[in-house]
Amino acid sequence: MSSNPSAQLKKIHGLQNYRDERSRHWDAQAGRTYAWDKPAQAYHQRLEEIYQLIVPAGARVIELGCGTGNLLAALRPGYGVGVDISPRIVALATAKYPELTFACADVHDLRAIGETFDYVVLSDLLNELHDVESALNEVRRLCHHRTRIICNFHSNLWFFPLQLARNIGLATQTLPQNWLTKEDVQNLCRLAGLEFLRTWEEILLPLQIPVLAGLCNKFLCKVWPLNQLALTHMMVARLASTPPADSKQYGVSIVVPARNEAGNISAILERTPKLGSNTELIFVEGGSTDDTHETIQTLIKGQTRLPARLFKQSGRGKGDAVRLGFAEARNEVLMILDADLSVAPEDLTRFYDALAANKGEFINGVRLVYPMQEKAMRFFNLLGNKFFSLGFSYVLGQPVKDTLCGTKVLRKTDYQRIAANRAYFGDFDPFGDFDLLFGAAKLNLRIVDLPLRYQARVYGETNISRWSDGLRLIKMLSIAVKKLKYV
């Protein structure tokens, strides 16, 4: 609270004036129609498509500044709550969507809600707010540590065209609007204890013009420099990276895909650290031409340091092995450790600490920061990794410096959500890395890169073919472009 009582009273008075003025204005606008309402449906329909790609059906969703509830209803929430400052609009929304819950409240004071949600939606609201930082602080009340906050707000380039449309009676009248840039909103998120995950531009043509609207709004608005002319900025955020309120020690399941790695099994059993409340090793072997399977069987029977199990995969590829291992995992935290020991098992402690402290929700190993041991990675493999890191960072909307490092860590609950959504991308990935990365990006998980010292293998040869597998990676990049970027 301000140390200056007079200043605090002025602030409260100003906010009350805002509430009264906005409430009267939107009550007056309720039910009115404008000349552009029908052709401008393209804008609202496109917003619904965008939000449907982010918010899965059946989630707990609250929309602040919900209007008559059309967007909230389109998301098909398992439990949906709409909040608006206008009593008349809330009454209209309640009559229109009786299966949803609506409340009349100002987003600057959400104490009465008393619940948390999986998704908080603020669509075309930030430009309206009296105090964006205070409102975002109130949004925190609605969040648990896995909540995603999604907002869209108008680009300043469209301020005058939109105002002209309102002035001549073609669009809904509004009271004075905030001038917000992406950088402004990102900074306000930080001030309110929120961490933005990604931002992007949408909607170049907010009119219902066949073919042209789809071309502009799904493709051209994603291409520089046309994206700079887009109408709306999209942003996804979460609570800042602090440990969850129920912070505890988690059980850890470490999946070790192993093909022709007999010489490394003993070191894995000896060097893998004990993590969290308990740790288990899950070896998955398939297709070996050496005695990897027999070696694992013998060694896990003769040691008691860590519980270890062995499974034989029926399919092919590391991706298939990882899926089998994750399906058999008994603990909440899932890790992948490549059996070639190019990533030191001791480094898994760092992955666990980052996930348990909620610094990220998908911890991705990175080999391209620290100097590598000689012969750890061939030159063309290094170039390929750098190329794909740039490509996938662009597509995923979050920086991912190394897509092909085998060590990745996430919670089992998040993996189950990725697996349930797998049909969206298709069964395309023999490596397993991109199945997880794409799924994490689709769910807007916070992806965090963790730099590692990459070691040269001491036994056997790599199972990766730089040329044929490089072509597969190009194919997977094209899938990501189609399914994540231009949708």
ω into 225 cis (within 30 of 0): yes
Residue after which a domain boundary falls, among 189, 215, 239: 239
Residue after which a domain boundary falls, among 239, 268, 287: 239
Question: How many whole angstroms separate alpha carbon 358 and alpha carbon 362?
Answer: 10
Question: How many whole angstroms separate alpha carbon 180 and alpha carbon 174?
Answer: 16
Question: What is the Cα 142 distance to its own chain's centre?
Answer: 18
Q: Which domain holds residue 85?
A: 5-239
Sign of CA dihedral 137, 138, 139, 143: positive
User: In order along the chain (487 residues), what is the average pLDDT of each group of 10 residues?
Assistant: 46 78 89 62 90 96 96 98 96 97 96 96 94 94 95 90 79 82 91 92 89 92 92 95 66 96 95 96 95 96 92 92 97 96 93 91 85 55 67 79 87 96 80 87 92 72 57 78 84
Residues 288 and 354 in one domain: yes
- Closest Cα partner for 245 from 358, 139, 137, 119? 358
Sign of CA dihedral 318, 322, 328, 333: positive
The pLDDT assigned to 39 comes to 57
The pLDDT assigned to 2 comes to 44
Residues 337 and 473 in one domain: yes
Asked if residue 246 belongs to a domain, the reply is no
- DSSP conformation letters of 56-118: PTT-EEEEES-TTSHHHHHT--SEEEEEES-HHHHHHHHHH-TTSEEEE--TT--TTT---EE
The pLDDT assigned to 419 comes to 94
| Residue the block writes with tokens 């929120």 | 194
Residues 287 and 398 in one domain: yes
Asked if residue 97 belongs to a domain, the reply is yes
Asked if residue 245 belongs to a domain, the reply is no
CATH number at residue 276: 3.90.550.10
Residues 258 and 232 in one domain: no
Residues 296 and 212 in one domain: no
Residue after which a domain boundary falls, among 189, 213, 239: 239
Residues 225 and 299 in one domain: no
Burial 313-342 (b: 16+ CB within 10 A, else e): beeebbbbbbbbbbeebebbbbbbbbbbbb
Question: How many whole angstroms separate alpha carbon 448 and alpha carbon 279?
Answer: 23
Helix (H) or strand (E) holding 434: helix 433-442
Strand partners, 451: 366
Residues 187 and 279 in one domain: no
The pLDDT assigned to 369 comes to 73
Residues 389 and 268 in one domain: yes
The pLDDT assigned to 342 comes to 87
Residues 260 and 230 in one domain: no
In this prediction the pTM is 0.83
User: Quick count: other Cβ atoms within 10 Å of Cβ 289?
Assistant: 7
SS3 assignment, position 257 = strand
Residues 276 and 127 in one domain: no
CATH number at residue 190: 3.40.50.150
Residues 207 and 258 in one domain: no
Look at phi and psi of residue 359 and say left if phi exceeds 0, alpha if psi is from -120 to 50, else beta.
alpha
From the number of C-beta atoms within 10 Å of its C-beta (0-12, 13-18, 19+), residue 267 rates as middle
Asked if residue 278 belongs to a domain, the reply is yes
Asked if residue 74 belongs to a domain, the reply is yes
Residues 222 and 305 in one domain: no
Question: How many whole angstroms separate alpha carbon 386 and alpha carbon 403?
Answer: 9
The pLDDT assigned to 461 comes to 62
Asked if residue 220 belongs to a domain, the reply is yes
List the 60-64 sheet strands across, edge first. Answer: 101-104, 79-84, 60-64, 117-123, 143-154, 232-239, 194-202
| 8 A C-beta contact, residue 364 and residue 283 | no
Q: What is the CA radius of gyration of the chain?
A: 26
State the total domains in the chain. 2
Asked if residue 330 belongs to a domain, the reply is yes
